[in-house]
Amino acid sequence: MVAGYPMLGTRYKIIDKGFIMQKLLIIDDSVSFMNDVEFVLKNEFQIFKAETGTKGLAVIMKEDINLVLLDLKLPDIYGLDVFEKIQKEIDPLLPVIIITDYGNVQTAVKAMKLGAADFIQKDFNREVLIEKIIRAFKQRELNIKLNALEDAIDEESDKFIVAGEAMRKVELDIEKFANQDVHILLTGETGVGKDIVAKDIHLRSKRKNKLFSSVSLHTLSENLIESELFGHEKGAFSGADEAKVGKFEAANGGTIYLPEISEVSEKIQLKLLKFMQYKEINKVGQKTGKDIKLDVRLILASNKNLEELVEQGKVREDFYYRIKVVNIYIPPLRERVDEIKTLAEYYLEKLSGKFNKHGLSLAEETIKAMENYNWKGNIRELKNFITNAVIRAEDNQMIGPDLITTRNIKFDFTNNEPYKASLQRFRKKYFTDLLTRTNGRINEAAEAAGISRQALHKIFKELNIDVENKVN
């Protein structure tokens, strides 16, 4: 092994005082050159070879390669295109060292500007090559740490906050299951923080340095979901001009988060069921018998009652029983009143920085009013409340109930009427204004409110809102 260079991290694990032999892939159409590299490095690295870009990409997906030596002149795919596929579709942190001829140094420098680790010429020196490889490994480790730091300070990435008994139970479940090789189902109302919990599970697991990929299924058409998740072969359907690596392959070793699992078709349920049973997928248009073996953890989430969907025939029974083995329920915010102050102050501090506001604080009556509010939109609604208040506040201002709004509708926290009466009055005003604002378009109003069309009709009836007179 190459002594004196500790190779740490996801792909670089220490066993006692030695190292696991790293997997190095050479992609070059010159068999003699690949043999030369293999001869000088075979004692330090496990060598894989590929004569084309297509074969090289397939090896990377199958073997969990640690570093790539990539020639720019390949018979099937231009080397920079192979590099781009590695970065965008497989692993943006996988070190790639460009192999170049004497007159092609300028292109190699261009590749380095795009993110390549380094370049070597065909007439390489063994010691220089090993030094460049080790430097690439160390740079990858630095990039992993920088990415983790960026995630920690990302203003759009909310923390998993435990400030009450209900979420302590959730945290115990996270600790219990994070490092077990099991798929996890998260359930709870819209806005309770399922996305935050999913990311926290990943960050506490042994997969934390691999990819965490959240796939918003509701943004994809039915025809695209299968290709997006599992990829497709060239020519698999009209418009498939080249093969596509799906989210599952790209996240090999990491975590896939599917937040709207109740929305997927029976066909996708069957493919997910197959993966959970056998750890295998097959791409759209892929020949039978060529399934791809993967190591991916699934975290699935639903804000709907899956048992009811099973009874309605919208969710397969075998799929439901497979995904519910480990179920973490996140309670609504109205059942976590002891957390509201902590959450509100967290978002106040975070959003004050985002909008460059200074010295803001929450008045005691504001906190009390927030603790008495019903929070139908849960944490998401709370964050929107605080965002609106921060935007409207002046520096060093104590935020009173007058600055707390939702969906541009003032909510009077200061009146003395009973909570239920106050809530009923607010609901009627909110839904009446919503109907007016959408010109009576029920589908649009339901989408804006974050509820189903049927639920909206039920609310209109309950609140005695005249739908017909609101339609233009």
DSSP string, 313-325: TSS-HHHHHHHTS
353 and 295, same structural domain? Answer: no
320 and 181, same structural domain? Answer: yes
Q: In the structure, what pLDDT confidence band is assigned to residue 85 with cuts at 50, 70 and 90?
A: confident
Statement: residue 360 has pLDDT above 90: yes
Question: Which amino acid belongs to residue 243?
Answer: A
DSSP for 57-88, written as a single string: HHHHHHHT-SEEEEES--SSS-HHHHHHHIII
Q: Which residues pair with 293 in a beta bridge?
A: 280
Q: What pLDDT does 105 receive? A: 64
Extract the tokens encoding 141. Answer: 């480790």
CA–CA gap between residue 112 and residue 274 (Å, rounded): 40
397 and 292, same structural domain? Answer: no
In a domain? residue 8: no
Q: In the structure, what pLDDT confidence band is assigned to residue 326 with cuts at 50, 70 and 90?
A: very high
How many independent structural domains does the chain possess?
A: 3
Statement: residue 412 has pLDDT above 80: no
In a domain? residue 9: no
Output the CA–CA distances (angstroms, integers) from residue 224 to 214, 279, 284, 365, in the order listed: 16, 22, 10, 50
Q: What pLDDT does 102 receive? A: 54
Span of 82-86, 175-179, 333-337, 451-455 with lowest mean pLDDT: 451-455
Span of 136-150, 196-210, 349-363 with lowest mean pLDDT: 136-150
- 51 versus 126: the higher-pLDDT residue is 51
Task: Give percent above pLDDT 90 in the chain.
Answer: 29
* Domain boundary pick from 311, 331, 351: 331
Count CA atoms within 13 Å of residue 305 on its CB side: 4
Q: In the structure, what pLDDT confidence band is assigned to residue 182 with cuts at 50, 70 and 90?
A: very high
Q: In the structure, what pLDDT confidence band is assigned to residue 171 with cuts at 50, 70 and 90?
A: very high
- The stretch 268-285 carries a mean pLDDT of 90
In a domain? residue 159: no
385 and 251, same structural domain? Answer: no
Q: What pLDDT does 369 receive? A: 86
Statement: residue 10 has pLDDT above 60: no
Phi-psi region of 279 (alpha: psi -120 to 50; beta: other; left: phi over 0): left
Report the CATH number at residue 428. 1.10.8.60
Q: Which residues pair with 100 in a beta bridge?
A: 121
- The stretch 325-331 carries a mean pLDDT of 93
344 and 323, same structural domain? Answer: no
Extract the tokens encoding 174. Answer: 């996270």
311 and 187, same structural domain? Answer: yes
Rg (CA), the chain: 27
89 and 67, same structural domain? Answer: yes
466 and 362, same structural domain? Answer: yes
392 and 262, same structural domain? Answer: no
- The stretch 383-406 carries a mean pLDDT of 81
Identify the domain containing residue 360 by its residue range: 335-470
CA–CA gap between residue 140 and residue 129 (Å, rounded): 17
CA–CA gap between residue 256 and residue 211 (Å, rounded): 8
Span of 84-98, 102-116, 188-202, 423-437 with lowest mean pLDDT: 102-116
Q: In the structure, what pLDDT confidence band is assigned to residue 469 with cuts at 50, 70 and 90?
A: low
In a domain? residue 158: no
CA–CA gap between residue 366 and residue 348 (Å, rounded): 13
Mean of the per-residue pLDDT values of the chain: 81
Q: What pLDDT does 103 receive? A: 53
The maximal CA–CA distance of the chain, rounded, in angstroms, is 86
Give this prediction's pTM: 0.56
- The stretch 183-191 carries a mean pLDDT of 93
Q: In the structure, what pLDDT confidence band is assigned to residue 149 with cuts at 50, 70 and 90?
A: very low
Report the CATH number at residue 232. 3.40.50.300
In a domain? residue 6: no
Count CA atoms within 13 Å of residue 186 on its CB side: 30
Q: In the structure, what pLDDT confidence band is assigned to residue 302 with cuts at 50, 70 and 90?
A: very high
* Domain boundary pick from 121, 150, 179: 150
Which of the 8 DSSP states describes residue 92? T
pLDDT tens digits, 15-46 = 222 234 678 999 999 999 899 899 888 888 88
Q: In the structure, what pLDDT confidence band is assigned to residue 155 with cuts at 50, 70 and 90?
A: very low
Phi, psi of 156 (to 5 degrees): -95, -5
Identify the residue whose tokens are 């092994």.
Answer: 1
The Cβ of residue 76 has, within 10 Å, a number of other Cβ atoms equal to 13
Q: What pLDDT does 145 receive? A: 55
291 and 397, same structural domain? Answer: no
Beta-carbon contacts of 121 under 8 Å, excluding residues fewer than 6 positions away, are 99, 100, 101, 102, 105
Phi, psi of 210 (to 5 degrees): -100, 180
Output the CA–CA distances (angstroms, integers) from residue 103 to 34, 81, 99, 100, 388, in the order listed: 20, 20, 12, 8, 59
Statement: residue 99 has pLDDT above 60: yes
Phi-psi region of 145 (alpha: psi -120 to 50; beta: other; left: phi over 0): alpha
* 38-93-3-31 Cα dihedral, nearest 10 degrees: 10
447 and 404, same structural domain? Answer: yes
> What is the total residue count of the chain?
472
Q: What pLDDT does 128 receive? A: 85
206 and 121, same structural domain? Answer: no
Report the CATH number at residue 74. 3.40.50.2300
Three-state DSSP state, 301: strand
* Domain boundary pick from 88, 121, 150: 150
Q: What pLDDT does 341 receive? A: 92
Beta-carbon contacts of 25 under 8 Å, excluding residues fewer than 6 positions away, are 48, 49, 50, 56, 59, 60, 63, 65, 67, 68, 69
CA–CA gap between residue 250 and residue 229 (Å, rounded): 10
In a domain? residue 1: no
Span of 151-155, 284-288, 406-410, 430-434 with lowest mean pLDDT: 406-410
Task: Give percent above pLDDT 70 in the chain.
Answer: 83
Three-state DSSP state, 121: strand
- 257 versus 237: the higher-pLDDT residue is 257
In a domain? residue 66: yes
Task: Give whichever of 87-101, 155-169, 300-314 has the largest mean pLDDT.
Answer: 300-314
Task: Give whichever of 120-124, 143-147, 256-260 has the largest mean pLDDT.
Answer: 256-260
In a domain? residue 33: yes
Q: Cβ(208)–Cβ(202) under 8 Å?
A: yes
